[in-house]
A and B are shown apart, each in its own frame.
Chain A
C-alpha cells in the first residue's frame, strides 16, 4: 500500500510541496475537506512531516512508493493449484469461455453485433414497431380491465391498501428482470480482425 493511501485516514492535510502530485491523490480518494485546508493540522501529523523531509531530501521528488507512476493491478491472493491451472488450460474447449471474434457493424444501426445473428438493438426496435402496427390493424386487442380507471378516492375506500412486505415491494419494482445493455457503436480498431 502506498504512502499516499495510508495518509487517507487523516483528512485535513496538504503541503506546498505535495500540491504538485495532489491530483493523483484526489482522484482515488475524493477528499471532502480539501477546500478547507488547515495549516495547523499539518504540523500535527507525524507522517506528513516525515514525508515532507523525505521530499526535501530527495530534491523535491516523491520518495519511492509501490505505485509511483504506475497503475496497481490485481494480484492473485494464492498460488493456483496444478489442478485448477490444468483444468483452465487443457480441459475440452467447450468448457472454456471463447472470445468473440465475429463482431461486425450492424448495417441498420451502426452498433456492434455478432455476424450471422440479428442485431438485438434493431430487433427490439422492430418488434416494438410491429407490435404497434398489429395494434393499429386490430390484430392485438387491448382489453381494459374493469375498475382500472377509478377515482383515487373511490379506490382507497373500495380497496383499502394492504400492508406490503419489503420483499413484495422489491418484487413489484421488477428491477430483477435482466435488461439487455445498449450496444456500443462499432469501431473497427476495437475489434479483433481475423483476416486483414
Chain B
C-alpha cells in the first residue's frame, strides 16, 4: 500500500522544537545529558545557530545597549520568544568573548553507557567546548592528576587531549594546572599540605598502574601515529632540498 502521508508535519514540527529547546538549554546549562539520537540530531542545528549568531554579532556595533543588540541580531530569532533575551544575552556577552575566532565546533558529544531504565536508551553528553563546566576538561584533568600522583609522565594521547583542551581556552594552561590540583583533592583525597593521599581506598586505587608502562615516557612514547601492528620505519629525511617526486609534466615549463 502506498504511503498516504510521507511527510509527517506534526512529527517534523515536534522535532524542530526539540532541537530548539535543546539549543537554548545547552547554552543555559553548558552541558546536557540526553539520548544519543537527540544529541546527534540537535548538534548540527546548534552549531549552525551559534555560528550565525556570533557572526551577526560581530557586525553589530558593541556600543549600543544589550537589549537593542539582541533585537537587532536576526539570528537570535531562532530561539523561542521567552528564551530569546536570557539565552541571547548569554551568547552576546559570554560566548562571543569565549569564541572570538571560532567559526565551528562549538559543541562536543561524549558517548555514555545506556540508561538504567526500562528502555536502555544509549545516552550521551552534549557540551559547549572551552566552558568552565566542560566534562572532558575535568576528565582529562583527573587523568593527569592520577598520573602525577603515580609519578608517571603523560602518555601521548593524554598530552594530545591536554593540548586540544587548552589551545583556544583563555588562560588555558593555568586553568588546566589549577583543575589538576583540584582533581587531586576532590577525587583522590590528596592533602596538599602533607603532600600525600590520606584515604586508604584511594591509595590502593592508585596502585593500579597501566599495563604497558612503555607508553608513559618509555620506548613507546612519541609513537602515537606509528603503527604498532606492522614494523614500519620512519621516512628518511632528505639531505638536499630537492624533492624525490619528479615534477609534474603538466605544469607550465618556465
Whether a CB of chain B sits under 8 angstroms from the CB of A33 is: no
Q: How far is the CA of A137 from the CA of B30 in the complex (A)?
A: 13
Tell me how many residues of A have a C-beta within 8 Å of chain B.
28
Q: How far is the CA of A130 from the CA of B117 in the complex (A)?
A: 24
Docked-complex contact B138 and A130, CB < 8 angstroms: yes
Closest to A114 in B: B113
Whether a CB of chain B sits under 8 angstroms from the CB of A188 is: yes
Whether a CB of chain B sits under 8 angstroms from the CB of A134 is: yes
Number of cross-chain contacts by CB at 8 Å: 71
List residues 103-137 of chain A with CB under 8 A from any CB of chain B: 105, 107-110, 114, 116-120, 122-123, 125-127, 129-130, 133-134, 137
B116, B133, B143, B211: the one contacting A134 at CB < 8 Å is B133
Docked-complex contact B208 and A107, CB < 8 angstroms: no
On chain A, the residues within 8 Å of B111 by CB distance are: 116-118
B113, B132, B138: the one contacting A126 at CB < 8 Å is B138
CB distance from B241 to the nearest CB of A (A): 41
Docked-complex contact A126 and B142, CB < 8 angstroms: yes
Whether a CB of chain B sits under 8 angstroms from the CB of A171 is: no
A-B contact pairs, 27 of them (CB 8 A): A105-B208, A105-B210, A107-B143, A107-B146, A107-B158, A108-B143, A110-B146, A117-B112, A117-B113, A120-B112, A120-B113, A123-B112, A123-B135, A125-B142, A125-B187, A126-B135, A127-B135, A129-B186, A129-B187, A130-B31, A133-B132, A133-B133, A178-B116, A178-B117, A180-B113, A185-B208, A186-B208
